[in-house]
Structure 1
């Protein structure tokens, strides 16, 4: 498993994945634990995780972890039962475990390998262990807090509560005079939390509890050479979350709220020191200056448990990196840029100790969980020589995708569960509730989908074939316009709207640039040229944005204009669509009306025309106060009066009889008011060429016309648009219709002034019915 922190990748090669304590559901963890129960070799672990060291764990929790100077072994202490375990790194497995009577507080390794160790226990005892096992035990007057070893003098230094540092000389085998720290009366020393021995000049540094200060002692004269007081104003204001002390739960140290130095680390150059406090701050000092040159806030407001310098072996990090760790997070940062982190790791469980293997990118952690976590950071340094295969594994993991823990399960919602017919399994172990749906086995999901839709595979195959054919068709040579149109397969209305908006914005920008060009001086010519180039750039829209490419190509993203959500977001468009839509009945009635109007011989009776009058369909025909079977006399009388008035009313329509327009000479012959049939029956028409056209009528009412064209060719003369006899302001619309002219004289009736005040009945208009009635 890999966690990306910025550009730096962190690989978890042992223990729980960093930052993923809640990423896997509990039922998956319990299921895997049940399968591997009773098999010590097959421990529960996340799929895809590398287990670098076999059995790198404790039954309950781990306290401290160290590596030997030769780099072949790892020594760690933990509980429960209190014990010490040693792992052989050459074999990548546990070498042995050794139990103790009390829980370990701190330990140091005296030899280059694991054979000689000193352990500080929480019952005020100090134990010495050798290769054969437990060797010797002694006790100190107060409860110990930390342990250190001074190699030149063979003194084991033990700090405890109070202002004394106990010295146990391992060469003589007895306690020497303790180092007594100067304690002011107004602010007494509550204890010494940590001891640091500089590897360059062997200067002793003691972190004080009760006052934020560090005292430096020379082991040769056993006297104090200096005191470093931390800026209390800066470290007394933690920026992280507030730490609330619970009475009877938190110890006296945390409930008192006193400032303290919790960790010290000296750089191998002998000049720089990293000092961590109980408020989550880390300060970097030069031994020649009392002011810090770097300040780092961990962010949680918790005491710093470990601080160390990372030197050598770094690839991207460089030298001068600092590692700080509290209970929640491990941060690695550069001493020159403390505000930014090189990498940040959030373990799955609370941390107790962190150890960096020198010259590599591997970190070992002791935590409150069963498994001890190990993290590999390739950008921090190479893999150790006993784990060189890690580099090959990480390179392969970068090339291939990491398997998801949900790969064998399918998440479906309740609606899809009902469609597949699996809703009866709710409450059974087959369905695992998660958020707004359920996890179901992938095999069960595939089987149910095939049963619900047997043609799912065929449809999927046809869809893939169609997509491939469309892709091949798009690769053909086409014009630019066709290529742009081929990109939009769905949501064409939205694409047109986007194009119109883009054109409008482009037009506005061009006008604005033209206006600026007119107002600009000659000195601003270069600036305007830059603006013109910026204006010619194509603006980013939904069509050319690759993030929304599927919106116009994938049919699954098509906008459903008939949905309720679309109507709520676009009420005007939905209303126009409803007004344009016609039902099947309305379409059939419109077709019947068009068919009846095309027949010139069909006429309506008086009753039919009166039904389509302006008063037809009035609301007074139905009185909701009357009982079923009872007549409304008032409504019937009103309807009869309206019907009689419509019969006597003369419509305001100018009618022109149908007269054939043959020629000016022929128009003067006969009666102008005669119909077309009467004129044909009474005479023969003469064409412009002088040839006659004969008309014969059959017995059944048919008509036959013969016409002989002229053999001479005549040139058409342009006709005058103004006809003889045409009235001024009158426009001919056909054989029998005209528009314009004088309006009829006389005053308008009352109903003509008001206009239509009642709804129409049926699909016919009143004007057409009246026209048919009067033309009979």
Structure 2
């Protein structure tokens, strides 16, 4: 049971789901009882065996309302269903597929079928009564009970007439403006037969005078194409209305007294109309409905108003539609095993033979309802052309609906991304900005008259209103002020100053479309501010430091500049904004810390900040390293606290190899590359390294697979988490006897001994730039004369950016992804040189050595050695 809803109108699909043989086969295959299957227990089989082996082609309700007749395949077959018994009465095999079906009596006992092999078969209660062939392939048949004449239209200009009383052919009716006939219908009250076909015309003939047609109706007068055809036509039960459907999916309803359509409905999918019928839902003409279908959808709408009453989207091709008289029950022949059966309570009640449908409607509403196309994106034809996807029309990727199509939202997103690769980035930035604004509204804010959208236009309106309200203002100014006030106070225009979609493009002059003659804006006194942004002060101070004379630099460390010699104008701002020092602290007390912090920022004669920019996960852009360092300095303690909690907790609560790789399963590939890379790094420099240091060791993955096999002595593991180090001892097993374990934060660690190899992998990304420089500088003091530092860090996937920073979130942590250019700057600032660098997978791999064999001294006020 499926329930779909369109404009608050519910349509119950009584034929949805599996048939009883399918349920039994599935139960046998899965070896499960159907008693416990909830879907099986809630199924509704309104009519037993209401199905065919492959598909159904035609469905008709007998005039007395007691039987339903349907034809289908395979093999070709006619089935008759008794509605009182709610089951199949009998079935009859045929020699060919049925093209059309026509009842000749009130019940099922006399009927005729037009077959695909140009055969007319007449059946009676006892079986096939007679069969004969027609000259041309037929497409439609109709019966005039007054004259007992059968009409056959098909692939010729002639409509064949067969007198069933005499059993002879009569003179055929030759069409005047058609080469082929698609459907033939008779008027229910008058001796008139109407034929539709190619040329988008309908010809009607009086059976009492067949010398010339009564009148030719041009269904599509605006079109000049010869390919348009009228595929289906029908008369209403009272004979006052006529409907015609075209090959373009358009249906028009006419009053017989006029050639102008009363109503029109476009299926909006360019599929030909496959079925057309009238259905009366009440005694008034306004209650008359039209049911039209193409191969993908069925629409029920008002015959005189054109308003939609219900819509059904079919997963299979629709061949024929028939309503049970004076009810909301609809039969649909389609390319599916089960004949479609739909109940629409808003159109009519259930028939008397299945009145229980009305009683269980409330129970059906309690079941899960399926929203039509809930995972689809609606696009019009114009939007489809903009996306360059017009070739998808007619395929399974587009579902025709109303005046456009439904497309899977994932496919729509891919097409849109291909059309504009940067659209998603702009959308993400806009959403981030909106969320930030929404959070700010929760705080107490000082009210002002400033607006975010069109501020100049808003200010000009306010100025116009003030000018006109003054004493002695002219009549013209008062009128302009009145109009400006109305615009500012009217709620309909508030979106002009709040919604970015209403932004007015600046074309040099303001538009006068609002009708208010805006007055020229008065010039205001120019205001000057001595306050600069922190990043501007930082950059200004750095530029002055870069130009400082050589005698101001320390002789002990030629790349350092004493902070006492910095320009006074930038000194305090640098101290407050960049180095996380309170503005109330004494400058002299922080002089040494400031000197040590800025010791690595500048080198004589070089500008290290050029062309390095990036973004963070909130969409904020950083145009230089100074802006990044400013934020890192302010948020450093917060970032490290979140990271510490994250690592203590472990990846998804586990301290394991998977946690070390952050869920990555490519550990073996990384190990193999690390072994090869280390071999190349030591080639020609160290034959037998004796000691190694693993920074940010985790559980000792690199130590066990790479460092221990490479050194003859011991390996020292440094990590901030005691939990991870304890796990490392278990992970290393017997090899743990060759290792030393140190719990210490890396940014405060200083080696107490010398190492031939210092390994840093996926660790610097959790440190700020300042701490990266300090760590590398401190580690360089722990290298032997031929020792090397090996770095493996994640690389930027976007070449246009130099770094990407992830700030702590609900489940996230602080993380810096740096480009090789960015990382190279930090390496140089630390006093190291690069001897080899390569890219592997998504990582950049480095081999670093000291600038000279002389090991640089550490700052006397540096951090203490880790315990």
TM-score w.r.t. structure 1 length?
0.51
SS of equivalent to 1:358: coil
Matches of 2:459 and 2:328 in 1, distance apart?
58
Residue 60 of structure 1, CA deviation: 0.9
- Cα offsets for 1:497-544 (capped at 9, x unmatched): 7653876658999997698366338889998997897689999999xx
1:613 maps to none
- Are 1:127 and 2:121 counterparts? yes
* The one of 203, 207, 210 aligned to 1:219: 207
* Contact 2:59-2:322 within 8 A present in 1 as well: yes
Matches of 2:635 and 2:34 in 1, distance apart?
68
1:516 maps to 465
Residue 211 of structure 1, CA deviation: 3.1
1:52 maps to 46
SS of equivalent to 1:352: strand
* Contact 1:314-1:380 within 8 A present in 2 as well: no
2:171 maps to 178
2:189 maps to 200
- Are 1:263 and 2:362 counterparts? no
* The one of 276, 283, 286 aligned to 1:307: 276
- Are 1:322 and 2:290 counterparts? yes
* Contact 1:118-1:126 within 8 A present in 2 as well: yes
- Are 1:97 and 2:91 counterparts? yes
- Are 1:84 and 2:78 counterparts? yes
* The one of 619, 632, 637 aligned to 1:578: 632
Matches of 1:259 and 1:326 in 2, distance apart?
15
User: Using a 3 Å threshold, how does the CA distance of structure 1 residues 214 and 523 change in structure 2: closer, same or farther?
Assistant: closer
2:316 maps to 349
SS of equivalent to 1:288: coil
* Contact 2:282-2:288 within 8 A present in 1 as well: no
Matches of 1:267 and 1:331 in 2, distance apart?
17
* Contact 2:219-2:244 within 8 A present in 1 as well: no
* Contact 1:235-1:281 within 8 A present in 2 as well: no
Residue 126 of structure 1, CA deviation: 1.4
Matches of 1:92 and 1:502 in 2, distance apart?
72
Higher relative contact order (CA 8 A, sep 6+): 1
| Superposition pairs of residues 670-685 of structure 1, within 5 angstroms | none
1:8 maps to 9
* The one of 27, 30, 33 aligned to 1:35: 27
SS of equivalent to 2:14: strand
Matches of 2:248 and 2:169 in 1, distance apart?
35
* Contact 1:65-1:365 within 8 A present in 2 as well: yes
Structure 2, unpaired ranges of 5+: 372-407, 411-434, 470-474, 499-614, 641-744, 750-827, 834-849
User: Using a 3 Å threshold, how does the CA distance of structure 1 residues 109 and 166 change in structure 2: closer, same or farther?
Assistant: same
- Cα offsets for 1:42-77 (capped at 9, x unmatched): 899977664322321110111100011121211000
SS of equivalent to 1:152: coil
* Contact 2:3-2:365 within 8 A present in 1 as well: no
Residue 89 of structure 1, CA deviation: 1.6
* The one of 251, 261, 267 aligned to 1:298: 267
SS of equivalent to 1:14: coil
- Cα offsets for 1:447-472 (capped at 9, x unmatched): xxxxxxxxxxxxxxxxxxxxxxxxxx
User: Using a 3 Å threshold, how does the CA distance of structure 1 residues 49 and 528 change in structure 2: closer, same or farther?
Assistant: farther
- Cα offsets for 1:223-260 (capped at 9, x unmatched): 444131415553456xxxxxxxxxxxxxxxxxxx7443
Which has more radius of gyration? 1
Matches of 1:620 and 1:505 in 2, distance apart?
45
2:520 maps to none
Matches of 1:5 and 1:309 in 2, distance apart?
21
Matches of 2:747 and 2:134 in 1, distance apart?
105
SS of equivalent to 1:90: coil
2:254 maps to 285
User: Using a 3 Å threshold, how does the CA distance of structure 1 residues 631 and 134 change in structure 2: closer, same or farther?
Assistant: closer
Matches of 2:629 and 2:441 in 1, distance apart?
20
| Superposition pairs of residues 506-655 of structure 1, within 5 angstroms | 516=465, 519-520=468-469, 565-566=617-618, 568=620, 576=630, 578-581=632-635, 628=853
User: Using a 3 Å threshold, how does the CA distance of structure 1 residues 121 and 630 change in structure 2: closer, same or farther?
Assistant: closer
SS of equivalent to 2:49: coil
Residue 83 of structure 1, CA deviation: 0.6
Matches of 2:80 and 2:282 in 1, distance apart?
25
Structure 1, unpaired ranges of 5+: 18-28, 238-256, 405-433, 437-489, 543-562, 590-618, 633-758, 765-776
Residue 221 of structure 1, CA deviation: 3.8
1:494 maps to 439
User: Using a 3 Å threshold, how does the CA distance of structure 1 residues 586 and 623 change in structure 2: closer, same or farther?
Assistant: closer
User: Using a 3 Å threshold, how does the CA distance of structure 1 residues 360 and 61 change in structure 2: closer, same or farther?
Assistant: same
- Cα offsets for 1:554-581 (capped at 9, x unmatched): xxxxxxxxx9524856899975553235
Matches of 1:97 and 1:63 in 2, distance apart?
15
* Contact 1:314-1:359 within 8 A present in 2 as well: no
User: Using a 3 Å threshold, how does the CA distance of structure 1 residues 621 and 264 change in structure 2: closer, same or farther?
Assistant: closer
User: Using a 3 Å threshold, how does the CA distance of structure 1 residues 230 and 491 change in structure 2: closer, same or farther?
Assistant: closer
SS of equivalent to 1:95: strand
SS of equivalent to 2:214: strand
Matches of 2:117 and 2:463 in 1, distance apart?
88
Residue 32 of structure 1, CA deviation: 9.6
User: Using a 3 Å threshold, how does the CA distance of structure 1 residues 36 and 313 change in structure 2: closer, same or farther?
Assistant: farther
* Contact 2:292-2:299 within 8 A present in 1 as well: yes
